[in-house]
């Protein structure tokens, strides 16, 4: 028995979503002036026992006070320029930060391997083991100093860059406090929330869909109130669908469109002020936007002939043949869409044996593209074959009803004893009925079409 | 370690290889001295303590234990030149090689008596040298003898575990396991057991090694063979030549294919992670606890909690100090020295996090800037207790 097999990929994009709840938040670092008013190249934030310490915190001389580039992340590094070869922690009279020979006390520090980044530098004044007059003398005298991290080169002799805070040290006890960084404000949060939930959806369908209004909320206020936006900063929004900026979608609200179906939406807030570092926040993504219809979309049928045998009996499908399942409608509240089975061409040149043939299809379950555990049985694809071309002795298979198709499914047969001068073309219509309880998304199945010699 | 071996060879060979003797002379030149306190003792802890006091970026942060009055510390390895000078304006004395040797030296320093190392390769010309004022802290992989009248106070440093390293031709069971009873038999030169595991030479570390004394005493306990003592092993070493041999603690670089030797899991981890220089050679780490390996992973290699928690083969490691100097009621009290042994200061010598070993259900994590994070990189977990026992 000879057979010829073709695989037909059936891709169904079903834009229905059932996932409920999507509003989450994202935070950003505190906005600070790019170069601090005190001359520090950038902000230095302090942590004590692993937690951010506000500027009012009083530190002991031997406290392990850790320097970071962010108020929210102790591992946020302090960046030295590429040319720097080493780093140091230092305590200096204000104004002497960039003159190593004037530092009151200092200690060597190190970079994260392979970088010029200083991570979690310990600014404990007692740990500054070098310098004149030295840490102990500073402790005794007290006063106003700068404490921070220096980037060095030229074997440690050249100060490339310094990051520091103004500190005030109490004589004798060594207790100290650090002045605030230039600008610091409560970290806002950015959230996407949804308005006007579409009435077509039952509660189980409560998630964004096309034509919904999405709101960018800073803290809990749409677009942010004056107190939510850092003083002196402007805020701008940009909306994204699957990570791609949506043209002209730059308002604090965004109304989803049909093209958003199946995509996740995010919004980015950018706070800007001349002379200050931008603060950029991006919200968490929504669930995939569902379409208005319960089931809609396209079924693409791609077929490639993998194995055509010796030319006596063969099967072919036009390269890149496609069929669209569209025009979904609700029939008894089931989404139903239809399309065409592409041409399957059977050529039987066996003029001597005249064996006849069967053309049969098998199919895998439709699997959701982003969650293959969610499947729709292949039985839901109804098939109504049709034949054309040379049809002598050929009969089309019995049409199946969506939901009850069984495989292998016979598309067409030719009885023995006939000789066909021309190919037989088998095509037909496809009907796809999605179960009501399946979430939206793109579903894919593969039809394997085989021609068997009788 | 290699320096030590060269020195030992030169000493044994005397004037006949004068060229080599001259060659090692620079190693006997003056080394730097401590700005504050001097630390000597155990080989097991030397890399972790050395990294902490010299400063290390092994955690990506910069961690250095310094004194509360802004001085740096200094820690001398167990091996190297045979003698050391630790403080400004002091004189040379024999380098303490190991935990027991270190405690002997500290007790001599406390008592104002003379010190002679128990290390066979010591420079005998420096036997009975005064060490008062030259030693402040001793690293210990063994805990010493707890005594209410002890002159030293000990603090836990972290949790280590004892396992063994074996050569390529040795054939242990799953996880590299060999039962303690069989290990004992091998060190007793039982030919059938040696043959069964493909071992020809069980190796023990040098005298004075804390790992050696721990290994032997724990094997005796675990195997139930109370005859198994250091003395018995040495008897096999001296009378059963060719069976037991002596090598430098934690140096498996020259371990033969058919040899086994005790090995600290922490040292092994530090070697394998590149935190310490690698003396693992081609050896593999075995297990003395049925059903679990001592370490896991390849890069990085991590401690296995179950092994470290084992009551026999896990071991707390210690730092020892003159009890009077850390007793605020004593006239010799030194608050700066005491501060180094804080269990709450995140950058003290003894910081191990808030949780003791028994409360851990998984490997802990620590801020990269803490001593505990450095210790973990060197294969040390938090100890079972935050100890302040007096020992002799």
CB atoms within 10 A of CB A7: 18
Cβ distance of A109 and B62 shorter than 8 Å: yes
Which of B60, B63, B347 lies nearest to residue A112, judging by beta carbons?
A: B60
Q: What is the pLDDT of residue A65?
A: 97
- Average model confidence (pLDDT) across chain A: 78
Which of A107, A119, A124 lies nearest to residue B368, judging by beta carbons?
A: A119
DSSP B31-65: PP--SS-EEEE-STTHHHHHHHHH-B-TTSS-B--
Assigned CATH for A25-29+186-282: 2.60.40
pLDDT in tens, A83-133: 999 999 999 999 999 999 999 999 999 999 999 999 999 999 999 999 999
Q: Mean pLDDT lowest for which of A197-211, A418-432, B316-330?
A: A197-211
Strands (E), B111-257: 114-115, 129-130, 137-140, 152-166, 201-204, 245-246
Nearest residue on chain A to B73, judged by CA atoms?
A129
pLDDT in tens, A344-353: 888 877 666 6
Nearest residue on chain B to A87, judged by CA atoms?
B62
For residues A269-292, give the mean pLDDT. 76
Helix H segments across chain B?
2-13, 18-23, 46-54, 99-111, 180-187, 191-196, 210-223, 230-239, 265-272, 305-309, 335-339, 371-377
Nearest residue on chain B to A125, judged by CA atoms?
B70
Which of A62, A122, A135 lies nearest to residue B62, judging by beta carbons?
A: A122
**CA angle in degrees (0–180, nearest 5) for A216-A220-A225:** 80
Instruction: Delineate the domains of chain B, giving CATH numbers in brackets.
Output: 2-158+317-391 (no CATH), 160-309 (3.40.190)
Give A138's contacts in chain B (Cβ within 8 Å). none
The pLDDT of residue A412 is above 60: yes
pLDDT in tens, B202-212: 999 988 787 89
Does the pTM surpass 0.90? The reply is no
The token pair at B239 is 């009378």
The pLDDT of residue B12 is above 70: no
pLDDT in tens, B291-319: 999 999 887 899 999 999 999 999 999 99
Give B60's contacts in chain A (Cβ within 8 Å). 112-113, 119-120
Q: How confident is the model at residue B248 (pLDDT cuts 50, 70, 90)?
A: confident
Q: Tell me how far apart the terminal alpha carbons of chain A are, to the nearest angstrom.
A: 7
Phi then psi for B198, rounded to 5 degrees? 70, 30
Q: What is the pLDDT of residue A319?
A: 58
Q: What is the pLDDT of residue A328?
A: 59
Q: How confident is the model at residue B107 (pLDDT cuts 50, 70, 90)?
A: very high
Q: Write down the domain spans for chain A.
A: 3-16+293-453, 25-29+186-282, 45-178
3-state secondary structure of A380: helix
Nearest Cα of chain A lies from the Cα of B63 at a distance, in angstroms, of: 8
Distance CA B237, CA B245 (A): 6
What percent of chain A has pLDDT above 90?
32
For residues A430-446, give the mean pLDDT. 73
Q: Mean pLDDT lowest for which of A36-45, A378-387, B234-243, B381-390?
A: B234-243
pLDDT in tens, B353-377: 999 999 999 999 999 999 999 999 9
Nearest residue on chain B to A137, judged by CA atoms?
B69
The pLDDT of residue A196 is above 80: no
The pLDDT of residue B134 is above 60: yes
Cβ distance of A110 and B57 shorter than 8 Å: yes
The token pair at A437 is 């309880």
Of A353, A360, A359, which Cα lies nearest the Cα of A394?
A: A359
Q: What is the dihedral of CA B350, B356, B362, B368, to 10 degrees?
A: -30
Cβ distance of A127 and B347 shorter than 8 Å: yes
Q: Name which residue leads in pLDDT, B223 or A222.
A: B223
Q: How confident is the model at residue B20 (pLDDT cuts 50, 70, 90)?
A: very low
The pLDDT of residue B348 is above 60: yes
Q: What is the pLDDT of residue B16?
A: 31
Reported ipTM:
0.83
Q: What is the pLDDT of residue A352?
A: 66
């Amino acid at each position: 028995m000879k057979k010829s097999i073709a695989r037909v990929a059936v891709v169904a994009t079903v834009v229905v979503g059932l996932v409920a709840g999507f509003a989450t938040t994202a935070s950003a670092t505190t906005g600070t002036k790019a170069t601090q008013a005190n001359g520090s190249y950038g902000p230095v934030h302090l942590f004590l026992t692993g937690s951010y310490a506000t500027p009012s915190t009083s530190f002991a001389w031997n406290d392990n006070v850790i320097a970071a580039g962010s108020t929210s992340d102790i591992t946020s590094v302090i960046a030295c320029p590429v040319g720097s070869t080493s780093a140091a922690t230092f305590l200096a009279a204000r104004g002497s930060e960039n003159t190593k020979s004037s530092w009151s006390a200092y200690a060597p520090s190190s970079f994260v391997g392979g970088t010029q980044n200083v991570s979690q530098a310990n600014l404990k004044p007692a740990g500054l083991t070098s310098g004149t007059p030295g840490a102990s003398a500073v402790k005794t005298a007290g006063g106003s100093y700068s404490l921070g991290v220096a980037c060095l080169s030229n074997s440690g002799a050249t100060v490339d860059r310094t990051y520091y805070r103004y500190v005030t040290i109490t004589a004798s006890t060594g207790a100290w406090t650090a002045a605030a960084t230039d600008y610091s404000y409560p970290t806002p949060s950015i959230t996407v929330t949804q308005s006007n939930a579409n009435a077509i959806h039952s509660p189980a369908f409560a998630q964004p869909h096309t034509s919904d209004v999405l709101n960018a909320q800073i803290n809990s206020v749409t677009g942010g109130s004056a107190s939510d936006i850092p003083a002196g900063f402007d805020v701008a929004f940009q909306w994204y669908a699957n990570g791609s900026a949506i043209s002209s979608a730059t308002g604090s609200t965004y109304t989803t469109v049909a093209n958003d179906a199946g995509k996740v939406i995010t919004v980015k807030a950018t706070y800007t002020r001349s002379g200050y570092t931008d603060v950029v926040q991006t919200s968490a993504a929504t669930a995939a936007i569902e379409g208005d219809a319960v089931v809609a979309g396209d079924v693409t049928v791609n077929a490639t002939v993998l194995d055509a045998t010796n030319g006596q009996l063969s099967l072919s499908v036009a390269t890149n043949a496609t069929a669209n399942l569209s025009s979904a409608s609700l029939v008894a509240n089931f989404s139903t869409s239809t399309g065409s089975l592409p041409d399957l061409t059977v050529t039987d040149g066996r003029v001597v044996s005249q064996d006849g043939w069967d053309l049969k299809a098998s199919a895998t379950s439709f699997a959701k593209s982003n969650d293959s555990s969610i499947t729709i049985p292949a039985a839901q694809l109804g098939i109504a074959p049709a034949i054309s071309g040379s049809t002598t002795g050929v009969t089309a298979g019995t049409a199946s009803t969506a939901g009850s198709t069984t495989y292998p499914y016979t598309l067409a047969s030719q009885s023995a004893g006939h000789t066909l001068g021309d190919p037989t073309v088998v095509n037909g219509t496809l009907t796809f009925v999605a179960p009501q309880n399946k979430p939206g998304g793109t579903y894919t199945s593969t039809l394997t079409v085989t021609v068997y010699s009788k | 370690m290699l320096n030590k071996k060269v020195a030992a060879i030169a000493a044994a060979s005397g004037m006949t290889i004068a060229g080599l003797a001259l060659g090692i002379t620079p190693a006997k030149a003056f080394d730097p001295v401590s700005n504050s306190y001097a630390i000597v003792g155990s080989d097991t802890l030397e890399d972790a303590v050395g990294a902490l006091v010299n400063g290390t970026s092994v955690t990506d942060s910069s961690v250095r234990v310094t004194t509360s009055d802004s001085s740096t510390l200094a820690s001398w390895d167990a091996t190297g030149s045979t003698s050391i000078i630790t403080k400004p304006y002091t004189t040379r004395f024999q380098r303490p090689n190991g935990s027991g040797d270190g405690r002997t030296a500290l007790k001599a320093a406390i008592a104002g008596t003379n010190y002679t190392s128990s290390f066979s390769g010591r420079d005998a010309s420096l036997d009975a040298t005064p060490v008062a004022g030259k030693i402040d802290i001793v690293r210990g992989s063994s805990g010493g003898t707890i005594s209410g009248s002890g002159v030293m106070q000990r603090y836990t440093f972290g949790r280590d575990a004892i396992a063994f390293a074996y050569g390529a031709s040795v054939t242990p069971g799953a996880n590299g396991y060999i039962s303690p009873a069989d290990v004992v038999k091998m060190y007793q030169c039982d030919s059938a057991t040696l043959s069964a595991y493909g071992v020809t030479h069980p190796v023990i570390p040098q005298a004075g090694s804390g790992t050696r004394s721990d290994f032997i005493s724990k094997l005796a306990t675990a195997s139930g063979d109370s005859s198994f003592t250091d003395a018995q092993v040495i008897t096999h070493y001296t009378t059963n030549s060719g069976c037991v041999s002596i090598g430098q603690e934690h140096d498996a670089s020259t371990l033969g294919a058919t040899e086994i030797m005790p090995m600290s899991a922490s040292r092994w981890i530090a070697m394998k992670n590149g935190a310490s220089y690698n003396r693992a050679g081609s050896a593999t780490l075995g297990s003395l606890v049925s059903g679990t390996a001592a370490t896991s992973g390849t890069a990085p290699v991590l401690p296995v909690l179950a092994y470290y928690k084992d009551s026999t083969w896990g071991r707390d490691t210690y730092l020892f100090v003159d009890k009077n100097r850390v007793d605020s009621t004593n006239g010799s009290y030194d608050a700066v020295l005491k501060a180094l042994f804080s269990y709450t200061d995140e950058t003290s010598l003894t910081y191990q996090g808030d949780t003791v070993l028994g409360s851990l259900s998984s490997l802990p994590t620590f801020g990269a800037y803490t001593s505990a994070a450095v210790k973990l990189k060197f294969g040390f977990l938090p100890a079972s207790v935050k100890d302040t026992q007096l020992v002799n």
